[in-house]
Structure 1
Amino acid sequence: MKKFDNYVRQLNVLKKAYDEDMDNEFIISGIIDKFSLQFELGWKVLKELLVYEGESRAKTGSPREILKASYAYFGFLDEDVWLSMLRDRNDTSHIYNGNQAKELARMILDRYIPAFIDLKVKIEEKYEDVLNEL
């Protein structure tokens, strides 16, 4: 699946954030931007998998609805974390304070990247036989 390949490729870039200087505002901004992209790719991968599974709710197009449907369909998805990501992704354009940006970057490192990694692993396990055909 092309979307999943992009998801994995961008995740490998985002994971480099662990090696970066968290006192550098430019780096923090880049981490937040990469997080937003990773989140977009994540919910779109989930949407495509729901379509593959024949889930009618996948047609909504709304990230919130896709996450809710995914949580109900895939037991491995942590709904609280993903809905928190959605809120934070939506709020990124309203962060004007350096401390808020630093807090979000820390949240990305501590909670969100591990959730992205977990999603990757679980998708590979569940769809290993058909992933390249999707």
Structure 2
Amino acid sequence: MSRLSVEALELAVTALEEGLREYADYPVSTMRDGVIQRFEIAMDLAWKLLQRTLKDILAINPGLIRTKEDMFRVAAEYELITNTERWLAHYEARNQTSHIYDGNLAAQVFEHIPTFLPDVRELLTRLKDAA
């Protein structure tokens, strides 16, 4: 895995954290929507890097990773993540971002984002170790 890929995730997570801090100072819906978009980008990079690590670095049989659920389960078995259920919840929250026009759903996704940060930071550490 290239360092640039891990660095891209690290930059996305840093931007997400920055967006959360800025929203705290200026809590308007457009700021919230920007934070949600940063979450979407960070989550997409996270699962793609996780998948690449499993297939290319750890040489896991692609037949074992047919769904996102399989990917998170196998990642936990290889100690890249610690909680499969939380990662599935992160992925589900990411999938809800296409419904950002729904204010209630956007608020739910936004409230979920702080639970994502410690998990993605832990993943970054483990991906760096695997690289």
TM-score range, shorter chain: 0.7 to 0.9
Does 2:54 match 1:50? yes
Contact 1:39 1:85 in 2 (8 A): yes
Query: Greater CA deviation, 46-55 or 61-70?
Result: 61-70
> Counterparts in 2 of 1:90-101, with a 5 A limit?
90-101=95-106
Q: How many residues align?
A: 126
Deviation at 1:62, TM superposition (A): 4.0
CA distance in structure 1 between the partners assigned to 2:37 and 2:123 by the alignment: 20
Deviation at 1:123, TM superposition (A): 2.5
Partner of residue 14, structure 2: 12
TM-score normalised by structure 2 residue count: 0.81
Determine helix, strand or coil for the equivalent of 1:121.
helix
Distance 1:61 1:33, change over 3 A: farther
Partner of residue 69, structure 2: 64
Partner of residue 123, structure 1: 127
Determine helix, strand or coil for the equivalent of 2:109.
helix
Query: Which of the residues 20, 40, 61 maps onto 1:36?
Result: 40
Contact 2:81 2:119 in 1 (8 A): no
Distance 1:90 1:101, change over 3 A: same
Root mean square deviation of aligned Cα? 2.2
CA distance in structure 2 between the partners assigned to 1:65 and 1:92 by the alignment: 22
Deviation at 1:61, TM superposition (A): 6.4
Partner of residue 85, structure 2: 80
